[in-house]
Amino acid sequence: MIPPALLAADEARVAVDGVVAIDRLTFTATGDRALFVGDTAALFAALTGVPFGARAPTLAGRSADPRWVPPAPDPDPDAPLGEARVVAGSLRLAGRDVARGDHLASVGVAPADVPLPPAWTPVEYVAWSARLAGVGSRAAPDLARAALAHVGLARASKRALKTLVLPERRALALAAAVVMAPLAIVVEAPLAGLEGAGAAFVLAALAAVSEGRAAVVSATRLDVGSPEHALAEGASWIGFLAGGELVAHGEPAALFAGARTYAIAVHTNVDALRLELRARGLDLLGTPPRCAVALPAGATTRDLLAAAAAAKAAVVELAPLF
């Protein structure tokens, strides 16, 4: 029997508190390492099952300071939860229906920087994840300590969570995700805002927990030389999300191929633009209005804008993806 794809979508629509955030999402992530880049928050909220109201603020608002602590959720009981759901089409993780939450029984999740109970210790926090999965009170701490050692936090296991710096909190989330030895993990933006030794620590922890299991990971950008770019090196499939649409996707070798890729939003004369780009040796990827263009060596954005001018196409957004 052929195993199911790691992650597959067929005309999936993701809504946040009833408002459509992603529509008509269709792809099949091949291999065992899927990496999503860009506007990934709504998709990963649906995959992790953790509402925006219980997660950190937008990635753009995060501090690179390793001492940064995410603020507590809004205490207003009337504030929107920010709950992301698949409301149409299908989204399956390892063959399990995400809309029904079927995947959560066999998949570990590490959402981005959720607030932590400050007085708890890492052992207590990870053990609680095990307890929620049905493990007894005696066995849970042992499982927690093993998971913490796996991500390099053995020496920090008895410290108060409020003393952990950002890289340690990211590793803590990974430990909680794998304490029950899941078949796959979903990890949201593990390297966002990190540099140097902190990024290397989390990358090593991610490599450790990913060994022998599939992983779906997100990144904000893939700038060459950035810590997040390292995530692409082990990916079997990469998808770029912009404005609620998948603008480019595929295997890394085909996506990179020595090219620099730009997200482009075009609202008029798309067919004419496609022809003008082809005449210049370029291809328009994705489904309008939000697409992507890969610029090979020797090509620049001037070539792209010249094609748009010749086609009289209204380009309203142009930004580098990697």
Does position 312 have pLDDT exceeding 90, yes or no?
Answer: yes
d(CA 207, CA 105): 22
Question: Any idea how long the chain is?
Answer: 322
**Rounded mean pLDDT of 166-174?**
97
Q: What's the mean per-residue pLDDT of the chain?
A: 88
- Confidence band for 173, pLDDT divided at 50, 70 and 90: very high
Which residues is 246 bridged to in the sheet?
A: 241
d(CA 18, CA 20): 6
Q: Where in the chain is the domain with CATH 3.40.50.300?
A: 7-256
Question: DSSP class of residue 223?
Answer: -
Q: Where in the chain is the domain with CATH 3.30.70?
A: 257-322
The per-residue pLDDT for 62 is: 45
Q: What tokens appear for 211 in the block?
A: 């060994």
d(CA 221, CA 209): 22
Lowest mean pLDDT among 52-61, 207-216, 250-259, 311-320: 52-61
Most confident of 66-75, 210-219, 225-234, 293-302: 210-219
Does position 68 have pLDDT exceeding 70, yes or no?
Answer: no
Model pTM score = 0.83
The per-residue pLDDT for 221 is: 83
The per-residue pLDDT for 260 is: 78
- Confidence band for 60, pLDDT divided at 50, 70 and 90: very low
**Rounded mean pLDDT of 270-299?**
85
CATH 3.30.450.20 fits 7-256, yes or no: no
Does position 204 have pLDDT exceeding 60, yes or no?
Answer: yes
The per-residue pLDDT for 80 is: 63
Higher pLDDT, 57 or 125: 125
CATH class of 257-322: alpha beta
